[in-house]
Amino acid sequence: MKLKNIFIGLGCVLAFSSCTNEMDYHEYTVYGKDYVFTDFTRTSGFVTNIYSYLDSDLPSNGSLSSACDESEYAWSWSNVHDYYNGSWGPLNSYSLWGYYKAIREANYYLKEFPNADFSELKFDKDYQAQMNRFNRYQYEVRLLRAYYYFLLVRAYGDVPFTTNVLTEDEANKLERTPAATVFQFITDECDAVADKLPINYNDLKEDASTIGSVETGRVTRGMALALKARTLLYQASPLFNANNDLTLWKKAAEASKTVIDYCSQNSIKLGKYSALWGTDNWKASEMIFVRRIGDTNSPETTNFPVGMENGNSGNCPTQTLVDAYEMKTTGKAWDETESGYDPQKPYTNRDPRLSMTVAVNGEKWPSTNANLLETYIGGRNGLPISGATPTGYYLKKYLDGTIDISAQNSSGGKKHNWITFRLGEFYLNYAEAVFKYLGSADATNDQFTMSAKDAVNVIRNREDVKMPAFPAGLSNADFWKKYERERMVELAFEGHRFWDVRRWKEGDKFKSIVRMEISKDNSNYTYNRVIKNRIWDDKMYLFPIPDVEIRKNPNLTQNPGW
């Protein structure tokens, strides 16, 4: 998408929709500002359309999980392979530049909303409720704009930046703004709008209308605090903090602590790990903000095992990921001394989150599958069948195992929702930041009374997890190794791993993945780890600027190495 077309504010994008139990995004038409800002429904639709750009990465035909070491996409035709096969580049950039369209719409709204005239509606029964919502929209839009800038700076580093509605000529002269400046803008905006946003829309009696609708899909105070905390964690990380400025780690720890405290004060708490996905996962007790997707069976049709009717395989978890799940009894990695790992029973006595996330050979998955999984070579769901799992595993997380995708009994789609922010992430973010700031997993001070070790142990003590606690006295190297495993396990397939390895500047981890090759002899199975090499170059820490954008804007420079 051309930058000049993104920033021009000559028209308004309008989405006629309302926000009830989920955000509904409809086709839009271009109208003038006098049409949009004289009717509350049309103004509301405009704001709702800005929400429609929110990201999600539900397992599909090549999620980012398969662009890192969480999974491998089973079909060779998927573009996701370009991230590690040498095809990625400015001409094949997988551009995120489209977020500038959302930013342009936000800038346009923030410029024009003060001139809105709803005087003709003042005798409507719902007028006051509508005005309460309208007065809050400006803060919602500012937070959304900050979030979109985060998605851009995370990927590109220095990016073109503006809060104005630009002409074509102005847009095509924008230079890249330093990432530190963009990070500062994001955190400042979060601070500015947090107290203007509600904790829970269900409690807004002043928003009640005669039709009784409740807006529940919109950004909250918690999202503002969470975006600030995640932004500061990225800014403190090696990719953006080359000199390891400890004050940045301190700010990140403070912001994550604020999120944790906010959640404690507002009954947002850790629940079952298994509640993080499914039809009603947006109601889970630890959710801060969830992107509503709606009814679909796409994650199931693109990830259920080959070998069952209409199963197409897809994003197959790697052995690299499976190896991150420690042993349930000892809390040790599979390859550590006295871990309790049995190579003939590799999935026995493992972290319970493994069985919730990954489908393994010999188990019943999904529940609509008439047969037990056979992921071994020659099995019903294994190689050499076209599209069968190359890793020995199929995906469970984010999939609904009760959905029937067979031609005869198809149950159709069910609600799916993408986790944008949840409490569990911020215990991990806090642990990382306070560890980096205080220099030890056990260290505390008057401000940070919970140690990094203790923060991780909160996660491991979930009621359906109950993994052994990280012990006291871990060396820094041992803590970091265990922390990375914990983060990979807890946040698997939630869109973090692809970015975490980059912000840590540990890209060599992406030079290979491990597969599990399973063979069967009578009733005996043999499990053999196989290394699959991939291409990694340090230029991949940041995305390439799309070539088409550089050709249109002579002031737009390319990222190093591309």
Chain mean pLDDT for the chain? 92
Quote the distance between the C-alpha of residue 11 and its chain's center: 31
Q: Token digits for 428?
A: 């991990």
Does pLDDT of 542 surpass 60?
A: yes
Task: Give the architecture (CATH level 2) of 3-52+95-219.
Answer: Alpha Horseshoe (1.25)
Report H helices in 413-543: 423-438, 452-460, 476-490, 497-503
pLDDT of residue 167: 82
pLDDT of residue 17: 35
Does pLDDT of 52 surpass 60?
A: yes
Full-model pTM: 0.93
Mean pLDDT of 541-560: 96
Q: Token digits for 466?
A: 């109950």
Planar angle of CA 552, 554, 555, nearest 5 degrees: 120
Does pLDDT of 192 surpass 70?
A: yes
When computed from its CA atoms, the radius of gyration of the chain, rounded to whole angstroms, is 24
Does pLDDT of 213 surpass 80?
A: no
Q: Which residue has the higher pLDDT, 32 or 400?
A: 400
DSSP element (H, E) containing 148: helix 127-156
How would residue 11 be classed by pLDDT, with cut points 50, 70 and 90?
very low
Q: Which CATH class is domain 57-94+298-412+491-545?
A: mainly alpha
Same fold, 3-52+95-219 and 57-94+298-412+491-545: yes
How would residue 6 be classed by pLDDT, with cut points 50, 70 and 90?
very low
Q: Which residue has the higher pLDDT, 436 or 127?
A: 436
DSSP element (H, E) containing 511: none
How would residue 10 be classed by pLDDT, with cut points 50, 70 and 90?
very low
Planar angle of CA 395, 396, 397, nearest 5 degrees: 105
Whether 433 and 249 have beta carbons less than 8 Å apart is answered as yes
Segment 40-50, tens digit of pLDDT? 889 999 999 99
Mean pLDDT of 244-265: 98
DSSP element (H, E) containing 31: strand 28-31
What's the DSSP call for residue 175? P
pLDDT of residue 95: 93
Mean pLDDT of 355-365: 98
Segment 96-120, tens digit of pLDDT? 999 999 999 999 999 999 998 888 8
How far CA 137 is from CA of 48, 62, 109, 134, 215, in Å, comes to 10, 35, 9, 5, 12
pLDDT of residue 79: 95
Residues 9-12: contacts with CB within 8 Å, 24+ apart?
A: 9/104, 9/107, 9/108, 9/111, 9/165, 9/166, 12/36, 12/46, 12/105, 12/108, 12/112
The ranges assigned to domains in the chain are 3-52+95-219, 57-94+298-412+491-545
* Burial class, 78, CB count within 10 angstroms (exposed 0-12 / middle 13-18 / buried 19+): middle
